[in-house]
Structure 1
């Protein structure tokens, strides 16, 4: 049960903190303590911050971190393909994979590479979801590192998602960029490799 619980908790924690999401803080904490205790520590800073911070500030911070700064963009293919034509192909492929798995995107209003949406899919289909997360492991790690550099309470949540995947996380941005340029990990046999020429980080130093 560990992976689905981590994926569900992370999906909620990385979503916009509306009343419904914030109202589930205690449920998230309890579910992690019971079913994924090793991951609970990574979520604790965010859940503690939610509890100690006015709701308006929590929401303002979320918008500042994820919506107004591309340095922490939660759209996985942005980190590998940027705003290129190839990204449209990638998004269409993800939609097809969701559809084939019986996952309905109609009511979400989000692009299929939005990390909370990918995590919600992974909650229901852990193996297929983990395969997508592993395919975009470099994107995940770059988001994690950027959040850690910003000393954001959200960093631990992304770190716990990374910890569900095989292999060690890169220690720094340079290693993560090398991972991105090298293509998907060897566990993902048969997937199209990344084209390093399309990596926005490789030429601009990262989303801003």
Structure 2
């Protein structure tokens, strides 16, 4: 039990500067990269980012459908950008990964889901009731399907939050466990371990993008169901 406590303690926000918690400040570091978009002459970075955002806008617009509100894709692009920046910042040494904590991921998922539910039940009540019973369900199974669909809707913010946090924790834990074995290995095994660590770091970089994309796409799909 003590070993597990020490192992997971790397995710505890405990470091401070002048007695002020400094770990969560890494969450805002991605904002430092945004002002370059407003330069008079666009850089390669800004042109690449504009290409990414335009592609995401087209895809999210397709997922939301024609009945979605104009400008709603900007919210999901912002969520994608925020999570991706935080995930990438967490790959640097001694930088706290905010998305590895359920406090942060639930703070993103729960207000989104709650807003969808309130908007849907207040403005499209019949449509929300129709979603509780899939098309073609036999009358005998309708009460059970209502219970199943209600439970699946209720756990959506939890699944969004846990999926993101668990994926970020898993990769960091694996890197930490392998890194702790380095001092006890021979020179040859240390070189092999270094190559494995580099491969895992590349995998973590891919996971950082994929998980932010999955979070944004699932949020978009949930919002399309209330229209």
Considering only CA atoms, is the larger Rg found in Structure 1 or Structure 2?
Answer: 2
Bigger share in helix: 2
TM-score, normalised on structure 1?
0.29
